[in-house]
Structure 1
Amino acid sequence: MIVRASLEDTSGDRCVDLIEGEAGWAWVECRRDPEDGHGWRRLHPPRGGFADRTTAERDAGGVVGWMGAPDS
């Protein structure tokens, strides 16, 4: 699996990674706490099985509140 894009919120504390792998595209929301120095942590397992990046990003936008729905 390869992260093809990482979309950050305006605070820089949350992101959604768009991942491409053998089973198609997936996404996962991550957060970071600057005070602990760990870096990014996944909030859940990747949600996948999408045919393309656009579909994965659209699904993430419908689930992740700070993203909103991306343009069609």
Structure 2
Amino acid sequence: MSRVVTRSINDQTGLRCVDLVQIGPGRHIWLECRRDPEDSHGWRVVLYAADEFSSEREALRDARRSVAWLDEEETMR
């Protein structure tokens, strides 16, 4: 199975996001990415899960512990 982004959460600026990624059956990770408008490279990974998780929900819970802006964004929705 290839990696599939199951959910992408952007910050208010649109310059950072957290992607929840399914990497196999019952295997999930998260990635925090950023992009610089002046750089044509696109998104760059700046932080990622140290572990794999058995569900998207568990991966999101871990991302909230590691990515300071994420919990704030989710609260605003």
Question: Which category describes the TM-score, using the shorter chain as reference length?
Answer: 0.7 to 0.9
Percent identical: 41
Return the alpha-carbon distance in structure 2 between the equivalents of residues 20 and 53 of structure 1.
8
After TM superposition, give the deviation of residue 12 of structure 1 in Å.
0.4
**In structure 1, what is the equivalent of residue 42 of structure 2?**
39
Unaligned runs of 5+ in 2: none
- Select the residue among 2, 14, 17 that pairs with 1:15: 17
Return the alpha-carbon distance in structure 2 between the equivalents of residues 65 and 2 of structure 1.
24
**Greater per-residue helix proportion:** 2
TM-score normalised over the length of structure 2: 0.80
After TM superposition, give the deviation of residue 50 of structure 1 in Å.
0.5
After TM superposition, what 4+ stretches of structure 1 lie above 2 angstroms from structure 2?
Answer: none
TM-score normalised over the length of structure 1: 0.85
Return the alpha-carbon distance in structure 2 between the equivalents of residues 15 and 7 of structure 1.
5
Superposed counterparts of 1:1-72, under 5 Å: 1-22=3-24, 24-44=27-47, 46-47=48-49, 48-68=51-71
**Greater per-residue strand proportion:** 1
Q: Give the number of equivalent residue pairs.
A: 70
